[in-house]
């Protein structure tokens, strides 16, 4: 019998990462190749073949492959989805453009609103009206729907979103519309709001439904192509995809709801940080994941990433809530900013140095890659500052060319600003750090968390290069960098359970809840979850259903999530919920709520299988013999504002208990740690690098 092998594969904007794990022994192998933007599945196949060969196993030995991708996010930002139309209740076709009639910036006279995925000429008023109680006032005109579907298809429209008013209380009209479309144009892709997000708030529901069908064809073609490549390698195991909520799902489920892949890659990184934090007895931390294109920041609280049911994509202004397209689905709450190793530096019209969000991506990549890049990037600056070894990038498999970096930084940054190339490189590095530190600070404080209390957990190909300065800027007490930091997101894929989320909107005052009806709603969702998990091979004894409700004080515009009591819901549950709501409210806002009634808006169930256990046998890539110091080199240190010679350590010869002091460089094949100040450092029992910082005292 073959050992049980599992694979995690993460496609980033610049690199595609992979981890192969033998669950029986804990042995593992990691791989990293440049992403192939024209066909991302090609990079997955390439890195899988290379890593399996090095691990001396075949694709047929792999039982599970879990994959994450930024395909959906990129398609929405770049507007590369299918031509899509929207069917709305008569009089409501403009709801996705009217939005909430609020200004996300009161003082911006030139404010830009997010552009809907469906232009106005493809949004249609449909003769139909369902009332708030679910009763039908105006029956659906199915002949209108059939004729419209034919005309749209003849004019190149491939997908249709259906979002009728109050369909979350009665989905019959939407289902009738789908049947009419299928009869008229069987090949038309259709998404119903009552299937995608069955809850109150029409604008968010419509926006999410449109996004789902907009990317459905693109996602299916990609997944089928990747499946074809895997089949050609004789892969016969289970193929899963990571969801934005931190769970994984089968391809069949994913193809129905591709919008749930929006944050699949970043979600895996947050799960990995939480898993490693728990193992190191650090339940509260800031996860910092910096790759070639973006940086992702997430607060891990009590061993779990924070979750939210609201998300925005394609923001006009990246830090302005309300400037993007709303997606109403469960997602790990993180902030993603356009700062990565490939972020392009430039001098703007005011003579100021700017970094990102534009990226050189994988093709052509930074100038130092020698692939034709003509713009200075963060990686080019890191190379000139001595932070990267041009002969040890990706373990020496990919040489870097400092002369190319020097040429583009001199021409486009140093010369226009009248400074030296080294000063220009340091400026690029510092601005990138400040962009990320500010984002982390805002993200933590908006969630009521003091970043000075949270250690930073840094990973990603570029994360350890920048983490020391960012953590110092935040005032973090210490910095943690795991072994294999360059591909750490792939570990997150292997820690995620099979999982899916369900929601039903039923607004009702807490004191008037019909608990028998509430129990019926919960059972309905649990039944759906049980069916999905059973079809995915999860045993009934291993299934878990977590129940929550969205509650608020009457008159408020937003809700907070509160766990439902276990067991059968009865009239006694009302007092338990009331007390639980008040506790959560005080934790979030550090004050008691007003003396007004409480109401429930949404009822939620998360159905999941068991959490897989990942135990990496770290000793299989470390070497007990040999000195940890492999040499020295000159790096730019901020204290002296000049180059200084510092020791360079081999990460694979640093075993638990090893202690040293900064400044120093610590190298492994997929990432490099830069400690640019005097700090005490040691390797803990989990092979994490712990760096003590001189953060401010927080009482």
Q: What is the 3-state secondary structure (H, E, C) of 566-611?
A: CCCCCCCHHHHHHHHHHHHHHHHHCCCCCCCCEEEEEEEEEEECCC
Domain that holds residue 388: 343-430
Give me the phi and psi of 98, to 5 degrees please. Answer: -65, -35
Same domain, 87 and 208: yes
Residues in the chain: 699
Greater model confidence, 449 or 122: 122
Same domain, 200 and 99: yes
Instruction: Compute the average pLDDT of residues 14-36.
Output: 87
Residue 205 counted as domain residue: yes
Which SS3 state, helix, strand or coil, does residue 92 take? Answer: coil
Same domain, 506 and 601: yes
Angle between helices 421-446 and 402-409 (to 10 degrees): 80
Residue 650 counted as domain residue: no
pLDDT tens for 330-348 read 999 888 887 889 999 999 9
Last residue of some domain: 408, 430, 452? 430
Same domain, 523 and 414: no
Same domain, 514 and 599: yes
Judged against a pLDDT cut of 70, whether residue 695 lies above it is answered with no
The CA distance from 630 to 326, in Å, is 50
**HSE, side-chain direction, 13 A CA sphere, residue 435:** 25
271 in Cβ contact with 305 (< 8 Å): yes
pLDDT at 528: 92
The CA distance from 3 to 37, in Å, is 34
Same domain, 408 and 516: no
Same domain, 88 and 208: yes
Token pair listed for 337? 């900013």
Same domain, 412 and 503: no
Rounded alpha-carbon distances, angstroms, from residue 31 to 69, 413, 486, 553: 16, 34, 10, 51
Rounded alpha-carbon distances, angstroms, from residue 444 to 438, 526, 584: 10, 33, 18
Last residue of some domain: 561, 593, 608? 608
Judged against a pLDDT cut of 50, whether residue 698 lies above it is answered with no
pLDDT tens for 285-297 read 999 999 888 889 9
The CA distance from 366 to 373, in Å, is 5
Judged against a pLDDT cut of 50, whether residue 697 lies above it is answered with no
Split at pLDDT 50, 70, 90, the class of 116 is very high
Rounded alpha-carbon distances, angstroms, from residue 285 to 247, 306, 397, 440, 462: 21, 11, 33, 12, 19
Residue 569 counted as domain residue: yes
pLDDT at 362: 78
Residue 411 counted as domain residue: yes
Task: Give me the numbers of helices (H) and strands (E) for the chain, helices first please.
Answer: 18, 35
Closest CA to 276 of 4, 27, 22, 495: 495
Token pair listed for 452? 């000075």
Residue 674 counted as domain residue: no
The CA distance from 14 to 366, in Å, is 10
**HSE, side-chain direction, 13 A CA sphere, residue 87:** 35
**HSE, side-chain direction, 13 A CA sphere, residue 112:** 10
Residue 481 counted as domain residue: no
Same domain, 201 and 107: yes
Same domain, 503 and 422: no
Number of compact structural domains in the chain: 3
pLDDT at 618: 64
Provide the β-strand partners of residue 191. Answer: 161
Last residue of some domain: 192, 214, 236? 214
Residue 15 counted as domain residue: no
Judged against a pLDDT cut of 80, whether residue 4 lies above it is answered with no
Same domain, 210 and 97: yes
Residue 56 counted as domain residue: no
Judged against a pLDDT cut of 80, whether residue 699 lies above it is answered with no
Q: Where are the alpha helices (DSSP H) in 447-595?
A: 463-474, 489-495, 515-535, 573-589
171 in Cβ contact with 192 (< 8 Å): yes
């Amino acid at each position: 019998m073959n050992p049980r092998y599992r694979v995690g594969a993460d496609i980033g904007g610049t690199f595609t990462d992979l981890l192969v794990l033998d669950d029986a022994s804990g042995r593992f192998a990691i791989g990293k190749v440049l992403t192939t933007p024209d066909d991302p599945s090609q990079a997955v196949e390439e890195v899988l073949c290379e890593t399996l060969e090095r691990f001396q196993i075949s694709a047929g030995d792999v039982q599970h492959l879990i994959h994450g991708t930024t395909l959906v996010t990129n398609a929405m930002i770049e507007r590369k989805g299918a031509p899509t139309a929207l069917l709305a209740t008569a009089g409501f076709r403009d709801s996705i453009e009217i939005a909430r009639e609020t200004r996300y910036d009161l003082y911006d006279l030139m404010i830009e609103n997010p552009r809907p995925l469906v232009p106005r000429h493809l949004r249609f008023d449909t003769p139909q009206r369902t009332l708030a109680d679910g009763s039908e006032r105006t029956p659906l005109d199915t002949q209108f729907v059939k004729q419209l579907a034919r005309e749209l298809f003849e004019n190149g429209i491939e997908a249709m979103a259906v979002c009728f008013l109050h369909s979350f209380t009665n989905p019959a009209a939407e289902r009738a519309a789908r049947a009419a479309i299928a009869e008229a144009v069987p090949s038309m892709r259709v998404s119903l709001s009552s299937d995608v997000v069955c809850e109150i708030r029409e604008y968010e529901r419509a926006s999410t439904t449109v996004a789902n069908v907009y990317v459905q064809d693109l996602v299916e073609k990609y997944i089928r192509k990747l499946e074809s490549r895997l089949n050609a390698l004789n892969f016969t195991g289970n193929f899963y995809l990571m969801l934005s909520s931190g769970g994984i799902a089968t391809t069949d489920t994913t193809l129905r709801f591709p919008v749930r892949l929006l944050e699949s890659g970043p979600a895996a990184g947050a799960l990995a940080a939480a898993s490693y934090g728990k193992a190191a007895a650090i339940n509260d931390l800031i996860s910092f994941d910096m790759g070639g294109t973006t940086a992702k920041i997430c607060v891990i609280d009590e061993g779990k990433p924070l979750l939210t049911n609201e998300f925005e994509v394609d923001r006009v202004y990246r830090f302005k809530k309300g400037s993007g397209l709303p997606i109403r689905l469960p997602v790990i709450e993180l902030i993603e900013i356009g700062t990565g190793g490939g972020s392009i530096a430039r001098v703007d019209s005011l003579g100021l140095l700017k970094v990102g969000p534009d990226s050189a991506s994988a093709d052509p990549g930074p100038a130092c890659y020698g692939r034709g890049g003509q713009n200075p990037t963060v990686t080019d600056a890191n190379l000139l500052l001595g932070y990267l070894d041009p002969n040890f990038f990706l373990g020496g498999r990919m040489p870097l060319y400092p002369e190319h970096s020097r040429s583009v930084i001199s021409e486009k940054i140093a010369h226009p600003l009248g400074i030296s190339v080294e000063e220009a490189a340091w400026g690029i590095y510092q601005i990138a750090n400040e962009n990320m530190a500010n984002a982390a600070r805002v993200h933590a404080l908006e969630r009521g968390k003091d970043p000075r209390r949270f250690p930073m957990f840094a990973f990603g190909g570029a994360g350890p290069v920048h983490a020391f300065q960012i953590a110092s800027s935040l005032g973090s007490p210490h910095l943690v960098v795991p072994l294999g930091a360059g591909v750490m997101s792939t570990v997150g894929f292997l820690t995620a359970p099979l999982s899916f989320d369900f929601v039903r909107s039923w607004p009702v005052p807490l004191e008037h809840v019909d608990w028998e009806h509430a129990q019926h709603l919960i059972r309905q969702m649990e039944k759906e979850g049980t069916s999905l998990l059973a079809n995915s091979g999860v045993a009934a004894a291993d299934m878990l259903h977590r129940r929550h409700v969205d509650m608020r004080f009457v008159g408020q515009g937003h809700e907070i999530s509160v766990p439902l009591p276990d067991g059968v819901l009865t009239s006694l549950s009302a007092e338990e919920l009331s007390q639980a709501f008040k506790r959560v409210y005080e934790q979030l806002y550090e004050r008691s709520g007003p003396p007004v009634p409480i109401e429930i808006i949404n009822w939620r169930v998360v159905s999941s299988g068991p959490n897989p256990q990942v135990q990496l046998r770290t000793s299989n890539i470390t070497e007990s013999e040999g000195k940890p110091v492999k040499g020295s080199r000159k790096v730019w240190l901020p204290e002296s504002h000049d180059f200084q010679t510092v020791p360079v350590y081999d990460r694979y010869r640093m075993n638990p208990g090893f202690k040293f002091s900064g400044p120093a460089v610590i190298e492994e094949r997929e990432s490099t740690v830069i400690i640019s100040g005097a700090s005490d450092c040691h390797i803990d029992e989990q092979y994490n690098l712990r760096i003590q910082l001189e953060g401010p005292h927080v009482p």
